[in-house]
Amino acid sequence: MEQKKTKLASLALPEKEHRVMFEILIAGIALLASAVFPFLKYSYQGKVYGLSGISLLTGKTVCGGKIVLTTSIPMVLIIIAGIVLVISAVATVKAGQKKTMLSACITSVVSFIANLYLASSAVDTLSRAKNVHVGAGSIICMLCSIIVVIWTMYMLWKLKVASALDFMAIPGMLYFVVNNYIPMLGIVIAFKKVDYSVGIMKSPWAGLSNFKQLFSSTSGSFLNSDAFLITKNTLLYNIVFILLGTLMGIIVGICLADIFSKAWQKFFQTSILLPQLISYVIVAYIVYAMFSNDAGLVNHMLGEGNEINFYAAPKYWPFILIFIYVWKMVGYNAIIFLSSIVGIDRSIYEAARVDGAGKFKQIFYITLPMLKPTVITLVMLNVGRIMYSDFGLFYQVPMDSGALYSVTNTIDTYVYRCLMTLNNISTSSAACTYQAIVGFILVLVVNTIVRRKDKENALF
């Protein structure tokens, strides 16, 4: 008998867990009960109608049969959130307060976002109706979700699962999610034939036809396709940019570090950094002043009869674009390497001078080895964007000259022209998806190579 009493006592809930279970259970029931009330209200032919959460869950024909509503995914998420809250409350004994609170907090955030999306898309859903607005069910769901999120966060802080610093990081995390991750849902555009009359989500699926269009050509050869041209230009330019940018940054950084006069050092730092601050619109007109047919400085120097039509001669532009990039970015790269050089212990250089090492030996045996982590980090960060190109450099500087597309057309300019000129959002999205996937694979490959050679300098 005593053993049975002991077991029953061990199964009894503490007072705090009792309260937690009860409050989460009430929140889950309230979230489920909100589906009975109208989530959306609208006017049609002088009468006011309401769409309950159940109608949005099962689907319904409204507006005299003119609109057929299918099952609403946000409503499904809201119902699932209510069920999860109820299950979390029941499982409080086994899972514990911490896991229950985390589950309730995440679930409430999901229901809040789903409800917000449902309310924002109401006008599009009921396009033929008038005065579309949210109903009592949506308000109850919204308030319930907000209260549970605030309450669970407070409890997580009380239980020491989350600290004040964690809550301070929430706004930044929310911005990161909204700005970087939610837009990733737009990847579906790459697999659809977008029809603006019905919207993106209701547009018919196109499978891989958008990618086939990107990788195909009139001659049937991949080497003549748009994908090959823009990939070749983007990769080759970025490889040269990384090599020359890093090399010139190191050279200029070392030179700046050896200037003993503080005044001259500040003067040169400011001077070489100025091109970085100049807009590509201004750079484009500077280049035009240099290479234009009529008033260009270069053509004036060549003399009459020897003029070169630079804006119709693709062979010159790889050198022009590389020079402009290095001129514009050398100051920024030099400042980064200068900050690393300044952090090197000066006693090492003094010991090297005592041993008879000259300036070049100090650079090759002290400075460059010490810059190795910085170089690897910057190269890997640049490799992460190797499939991206500077839009201003490749679009504005060549003045969008059609004769130069063979050497200036990169993935970013291709997406812009495809979207703005051809109004083909599906192919543009396919090019962006291709760009992201290849870039991701390249980052993994480079990081794997660095990790095998030098594990400490790998990004992950």
pLDDT tens, residue by residue, 330-376:
988 998 998 888 888 888 988 988 888 888 888 888 888 899 888 88
pLDDT in tens, 373-422: 888 888 888 888 888 888 999 999 999 888 899 899 999 999 898 888 88
Asked whether the whole model's pTM tops 0.85, one would answer no
By mean pLDDT, which of 142-146, 222-226, 262-266 is the weakest? 222-226
Whether the per-residue pLDDT at 149 is higher than 50: the answer is: yes
CA distance 382 to 366: 25
State the chain's mean pLDDT as an integer: 82
Q: Kindly report, residue by residue over 23-54, the tens digit of the pLDDT.
A: 778 888 888 888 888 888 877 777 777 788 88
pLDDT of res. 221: 67
| pLDDT recorded at residue 95 | 67
The residue among 21 and 251 whose pLDDT is bigger is 251
The CATH 1.10.3720.10 domain(s) of the chain lie at 211-457
Q: Is the pLDDT of residue 142 over 70?
A: yes
pLDDT digits (tens, 9 = 90+) for 281-332: 999 999 999 998 877 888 888 887 788 889 999 999 999 999 999 999 998 8
- The answer as to CATH 1.20.140 being correct for domain 10-162 is yes
**pLDDT for residue 218 is more than 80:** no
Q: Does the CA dihedral 340-342-345-348 come out positive or negative?
A: positive
pLDDT at position 10 is: 41
Architecture of the domain delimited by 211-457 = Orthogonal Bundle (1.10)
pLDDT-wise least confident of 48-52, 96-100, 151-155, 362-366? 96-100
CATH 1.20.140 location in the chain: 10-162
